[in-house]
Structure 1
Amino acid sequence: MLFASLLLADCLTLGADASAQTTPPVAPRHVVAITFDDLPYVNEGAKTPVQAAVAAQHRIVQALRCGHVPATGFVNEDKVQALGPVGSRLLAEWNKGLLALGNHGYSHFDSNDLDVAGIEREIVKGEATIRPMAATAERGISFFRFPYNHVGDTEARRAAIGQVLAAHGYTLAASTIDTSDYMFNTAYEHAFAARQTAEMKRITRAYLDYSRTQIAYYDQLDRKVVGRDVPAIMLLHVNRLNAATIKPLLELFRSAGYRFVSLAEAQADPVYSAMPSVATKYGPMWGYRWARERHVKIDGRLEQEPPAWISAAVGDAAK
């Protein structure tokens, strides 16, 4: 009841803020599905900060609900366990309305480092909380997303992964837009810990600017490769930075002419009818995978990297 009351108050506040805006909305001409990885909360260090996880979840969930934005949250079961009873309570908010749960594995594993049996164990153990939770609401768990987007570094492994997912009733969750939010978040966490308010604001501005650039870049990339507009799938993580920026992040899409759809609706497009049939050690966005599959020449150097000072800040945080 308390969460619902807070949500209503936030929505009323959001509505008041929105009515004060003078910029007319852009007529939607694209669609995007919003997805979050590493639920309930990205671990920073050995111990998960419970208060930070609760605050981040509240801000993200209320922004999605108030904006009537469908979203899928991909869960690591070990992160649920790290938060104790709070973990499952936070996930319950993703098991209703326009929000949905997805499987991200028991741990944030790298499929390149496991045999097929190990990958299958991660998938099954990842269901411990979310499968029965979804069942209580007469829902299923339809999508699996691999950590790092590693879906087969050899052709044999790629094919085997596809068979394992099918055997457990999963569709591979795609992703078409990457903003390197984990890098910006690392820098943001470092500034937060040092109470550097000005630096936090600087990082936030840089992150939103970079996100705007990446949204446009991947739209152009996918159009070049596929030859038409395709539903976009935004990859984010539940972390402190995205909790602080979720409202302007969503506004970036609105101002660029996007409307929000569920992951299921986005991946109903024929372009997602099968896993990309290329093996790769790394985890590129689907536009690059489609380019290799279709033999479309792409110059990846045209994609901008995060600012050098963000990379430097990440290095400083690791020291």
Structure 2
Amino acid sequence: MVKGTGLHGDGGTRQSVTRACVRRVRTIGRFLLLAFTPWLAIAFFLVEAHAETKGGAREKSVAITFDDLPHANAGEDGTDHPSTESIEAANARILAALKAHKAPAIGFVVESKVRAVGPRAKNILKDWTGPRLTLGNHTFSHADTNTLDIAGIKREIVDGEKTTRQVLKAAGKDLRFLRFPYNHTGDTEEKQKAIAALAAKHGYTIAASTIDTSDYVFDRAYERALAENDTEAAHRIRTAYLMHTQQQIAYYAGLNEQALGYEPPAIMLLHVNRLNADAMKAILSLFEESGYGFITLEKALADAAYRRPLSHATKYGPMWGYRWAKDRNMQVDGSLEREPPEWIVTYGE
């Protein structure tokens, strides 16, 4: 999609002119009502104010978040580890796209990946502390909380913040947000409460997420195409990924509205990888063309939907729309959510 078409181009001007005309008609109507039927005018004003508040109180917004900094494939067993130069380049392209679209973002750091990258990793993280940017804790080793006791989870949190807290402190910022690997926040009600209490004790807000694109599935296929110098396949994969992303944005907006009765600020879950580095500008344009504005994670989490503690415990890591629906005993047909195309999955295996 090309920014500058549709409502971003001449259509936006036409809409402004139309709105101006409507305002003039409303002004004339108000004057006539006030002059001849004062009580009817008051009723008109009340109804109109309610309609305008209802229609304009909530603008669509999204917070952009990235997991697995400095790079999702750094230090992964059984993979060709990306070079430090390619990791630096991927982060630079993502940050450049965010800057171009004036989009705030947060990057969640895995301490073991910082160590796998080496001394230059700290400089990469420093670039994530500029204007509209910050960092969060994604634990030490990306371990699954379902397999750990509370003491083990505490070690993952505390050991996971060492470099991140240091980098943020040097930038005059605080380490405030924590996201657990796989979004596993407790597989039993007792463990979920204990994890929430542990995070709060260490000064963290647990980061939610509402839009998932399974970008890692597409990235596996993308990395294979690039390794084989198959530019045609890489283009097809990137195009399929953007189509899937557009579908997921729409799907989760509908899911969240179904669960809550309104669409809260969305929180996009992405990973730092080569696919997102190459597709980031297009992803941000998708949001813009769908009417979304970009906000910080802090602002998104201030919405009432996120302030209410989750009551449904699960061993899985569903997006928050499914959790909200479960907490409210709502039936959701999860089969309506699109999975990555089978050819993408097969190609990446």
Shift of residue 22, structure 1, vs aligned partner: 4.5
**Residue 253 of structure 2, aligned match among 210, 214, 219:** 219
Of 98, 107, 115, the residue aligned with 1:64 is 98
Q: 1:35, 1:71 within 8 Å by CA — same for their partners in 2? A: yes
CA distance in structure 1 between the partners assigned to 2:148 and 2:207 by the alignment: 20
Q: Secondary structure at the match of 2:128?
A: coil
Normalising by structure 1, we get a TM-score of 0.90
Q: What residue in structure 2 maps to residue 249 of structure 1? A: 283
Equivalent position of 1:196 in the other structure: 230
Q: CA deviation at 1:24?
A: 3.9
Superposition pairs of residues 83-162 of structure 1, within 5 angstroms = 83-162=117-196
Structure 1 CA distance, aligned partners of 2:100 and 2:285? 13
Q: Deviations over 1:28-62 (max 9, x none)?
A: 93000000000011125263421210110010011
C-alpha distance after superposition, 1:39-86 (max 9, x if no partner): 011125263421210110010011111221100100001111111111
1:11 equivalent in structure 2: none
Aligned match for 1:36, one of 66, 71, 78 = 66
**1:154-186 deviations in whole A, cap 9, x for unaligned?**
111111101110110000100000000000001
**Which of structures 1 and 2 has the bigger CA Rg?**
2
Query: What TM-score, normalized to structure 2?
Result: 0.82
Structure 1 alignment gaps of length 5 or more: 1-16
Q: Which residue does 2:29 correspond to in 1?
A: none
1 CA distance for matches of 2:83 and 2:114? 12
Cα distance in 2 for residues equivalent to 1:31 and 1:275 = 22
Are 1:168 and 2:202 an aligned pair?
Answer: yes
Deviation at 1:23, TM superposition (A): 4.2
Q: C-alpha separation between the residues in 2 aligned to 1:203 and 1:231?
A: 29
Query: 2:215 aligned with 1:181, yes or no?
Result: yes
Q: Which amino acid aligns with 2:240?
A: A
Which of 304, 309, 317 is the equivalent residue of 2:343?
A: 309
Give the structure 1 partner of residue 108 of structure 2.
Answer: 74
User: Structure 1 residue 137: deviation in Å?
Assistant: 2.0
| Structure 2 equivalent of residue 52 of structure 1 | 86
Q: Which amino acid aligns with 1:172?
A: I
- 1:264 and 2:302 are equivalent in the alignment: no
Check whether the contact 1:179–1:210 (CA below 8 A) recurs between aligned residues.
Answer: yes
Q: Secondary structure at the match of 1:257?
A: coil
Quick one: distance in 1 between partners of 2:225 and 2:233? 6
| SS at structure 1 position matched to 2:65 | strand
State the number of aligned residues.
297
Structure 2 residue runs without a partner (length 5+)? 13-57
Identity %: 51
What is the alpha-carbon distance in structure 2 between the residues aligned to residue 158 and residue 136 of structure 1?
Answer: 33
Determine the structure 2 residue equivalent to 1:25. 8
Of the structure 1 ranges 281-290 and 269-278, higher mean CA displacement relative to structure 2 is found in 269-278
Partners of 1:311 and 1:94 in 2: how far apart? 31
Instruction: Give the Cα–Cα distance (whole angstroms) in 1 for the partners of residues 331 and 127 of structure 2.
Output: 43
* 8 A Cα contact 1:48 1:83, kept in partner: no
Residue aligning to 2:35: none
- 8 Å CA contact 1:104, 1:146 repeated in 2: yes
Which deviates the most, 258-267 or 80-89? Answer: 80-89
Does the 8 Å contact 2:222/2:348 carry over to 1?
no
Q: Answer 1 or 2: which has greater helix percent.
A: 2
Letter in 2 for 1:262: T
Structure 1: which amino acid aligns with 2:8? P
Distance, in Å, in 2 between the alignment partners of 1:90 and 1:188 is: 23
Q: Give the CA RMSD over aligned residues.
A: 1.6
Shift of 1:109: 1.0
Cα distance change, pair 129–50 in 1 and its aligned pair in 2 (3 A): same
